[in-house]
Structure 1
Amino acid sequence: MGSVFLPHLRTGWHVDQAILSEDDRLVIIRFGREEERDCMIVDELLFRISEKIKNFGVIYLCNIDRVPDFNVMYELDSDRSEPYTIMFFYRNKHMMCDFGTGNNNKLNFPITDQQELIDIIETIYRGAKKGKGLVISPKDYSAVRKFR
């Protein structure tokens, strides 16, 4: 189970420190509730890719019920319709990605393919290294279905 092996950020301070601590890698934070099925699935996916992206990205998990500090600021699932939200940061800057979904702030739709997620992370990392605050996703997700 992925959420057992990936580092958990247990307070708002830990989230801030994770974002501040990396100078050269993308910080990927999965906000959500690891007890929800879709969240478990993405945590497993994140765990499986964590070794493959370790040179340019680091992954953390944050439970939004235990650490509610960012729920309003990042518009995290207040109505429980999103099992998880993945956000990206580079050098203390929130990285945005145009997925074609109308929401450039976060990845909050079902994703199950390892290579697809690696491609997204690599694209955001390359854009971040070039100083871009918004990058275009390698794939258009406008037709992707929301969670059930």
Structure 2
Amino acid sequence: MNYLLPTLRNKEEIDRIIRDTIDKVLVLRFGRCSDNDSLLLDDILQKSARDVSKFATVALVDVDSEEVEVYVKYFDITLIPSTVFFFNACHMKLDSGTADHTKWVGKFHEKQDFIDVVEVIFRGAMKGKMIAHCPIPPERIPKYQLLYKDV
């Protein structure tokens, strides 16, 4: 299903793609190939990859690989799948009305939702903005509870 999208398996591969993706949005999906929501998201990402290829690069990251644990912890990937965005090696944030602007948590309902989000991030980044406002209607944004350990 995700044969067209590269899967990054260690910190060096992630570092390299973040550093080397210039003037495009880098979309990193953190998930598991055994997780149903990750697979549904992967399907949307794969179907969208060609449509966004002029302004975005999409890659998958397996959260169970010990060699990517530093990124899983850094981005606080506790809910699967989570999608993180970069532009010219800068972490891009997305205000989707949720408590966490650092990543998209969950899957996208449809291909066009993903394309719209990436396009908004790209346009904002080209204007020097580090945060973009989510163009998706609130009813199509996944709802989740933030979990805080030791609080």
Q: TM-score, normalised by structure 2?
A: 0.88
The answer as to 2:83 corresponding to 1:86 is yes
- Choose from 132, 142, 145 the match for 2:143: 145
Q: For the Cα contact (< 8 Å) 2:38–2:107, is it kept in 1?
A: no
Q: For the Cα contact (< 8 Å) 1:100–1:140, is it kept in 2?
A: no
Percent identity reads: 27
Q: For the Cα contact (< 8 Å) 1:32–1:64, is it kept in 2?
A: yes
Which stretch shifts more, 103-112 or 134-143? Answer: 134-143
Q: Please list every run of 5 or more consecutive structure 2 residues that lacks an aligned counterpart in the other structure.
A: 146-151
Give the Cα separation in 1 of the matches to 2:142 and 2:104. 12
RMSD: 1.6
Q: TM-score, normalised by structure 1?
A: 0.90
| Amino acid in the other structure paired with 2:33 | E
Give the Cα separation in 2 of the matches to 1:144 and 1:14. 29
Q: Please list every run of 5 or more consecutive structure 1 residues that lacks an aligned counterpart in the other structure.
A: none
User: 1:126 Cα deviation (Å)?
Assistant: 0.4
4+ long deviations beyond 4 Å: none
Q: For the Cα contact (< 8 Å) 1:119–1:138, is it kept in 2?
A: yes
1:20-99 alignment to 2 at 5 Å? 20-66=19-65, 67-77=68-78, 82-99=79-96
Question: Could you say which structure has the higher helix fraction?
Answer: 2
User: 1:140 Cα deviation (Å)?
Assistant: 4.6
Give the Cα separation in 2 of the matches to 1:25 and 1:83. 24
